[in-house]
Amino acid sequence: MVISSSHIYSKRSLDVVDTNNANKINSKRFTQNGQIQIYQSSYRGSYPSIIRDSLRNAALGRKVLLIQFMKGGVKQGVDNAVKLCGNLTWVRSSHSFDQYNTGAIENNKNLKKAIHESTIELWNFCKKELQSGENDQVILDEIFLAIDMKIIDKDDLISTLENRFISGDVILTGTDIPKDLLLMANQITELRS
């Protein structure tokens, strides 16, 4: 099921920004930000089509950033991103929620702190990338779980999305999606089992 909101962004729709350089006003044109797409599912691990599409987009020459907030096991972190197809940067947290048993995380303060810190480091990296304008597509996989776990602040995500500079789409995935983020979306896709 696909539900679309009334926010329509056209690549032909241009905004004009006046800049003042040495008492001379210049007009610069830039395209509107791309769409916000949300993929929601009742269970985790249901987004292989998004990863497949990100690979295809990268192979077609689009610069894609894929961030997996809760996946682990490959000891990546921001400094050890994997590059695929020349255009896909795939980043996972250096200490991920999925690498450990939930009980082990709750019983080990140092481990819990490491997971939180590496997720926050990943989020700060994402914020810079969303504002850089260097990517054609940014995928934030399972960011809603990081919000649900109180690692990432929902209002910080909303503010970052409102102030992003990316001509392509931002794709967010997750299970429990806050209503304010659903209202921001241009497209919502519900994946069913």
pLDDT tens per residue across span 40-96: 887 666 567 788 888 899 999 999 999 988 776 566 778 888 888 889 999 988 777
Burial of 79 (0-12, 13-18, 19+ CB in 10 A): exposed
Backbone angles phi, psi at 92, to 5 degrees: -120, 160
Given the DSSP bridges, would you call strands 36-41 and 14-21 parallel, antiparallel or unpaired? unpaired
Q: How many domains does the chain have?
A: 1
Cα distance between residue 139 and residue 169, in whole Å: 8
Task: Give me the numbers of helices (H) and strands (E) for the chain, helices first please.
Answer: 6, 10
Residues 6+ apart with CB under 8 A from 123: 69, 146, 151, 152, 156
Q: Looking at residue 167, which CATH number applies to its domain?
A: 3.40.50.300
Q: Region 153-167: what's the mean pLDDT?
A: 90
pLDDT at 75: 65
Q: What is the helix, strand, coil percentage profile of the chain, to 5?
A: 35, 30, 35
Identify the pLDDT of residue 149.
85
pTM of the model: 0.76
* Bigger pLDDT: 77 vs 134: 134
| Longest CA–CA separation in the chain, Å | 62
How many angstroms separate the CA atoms of 96 and 116, rounded?
9
Which domain covers residue 131, as residue numbers?
Answer: 2-191
Annotate 75-121 with DSSP letters as a single string. Answer: ---GGG-EEETTTEEEEE-SS-GGGS-HHHHHH-HHHHHHHHHHHHH
Helix segments in the chain, DSSP class H: 48-59, 102-107, 109-132, 143-148, 154-162, 179-184
Of the CA atoms within 13 Å of residue 144, those in its CB half-sphere come to: 19
> Residue 172: is its pLDDT beyond 90?
yes
Query: What pLDDT is attached to residue 74?
Result: 62
Q: Answer whether 140's CB lies under 8 Å from 126's CB.
A: yes
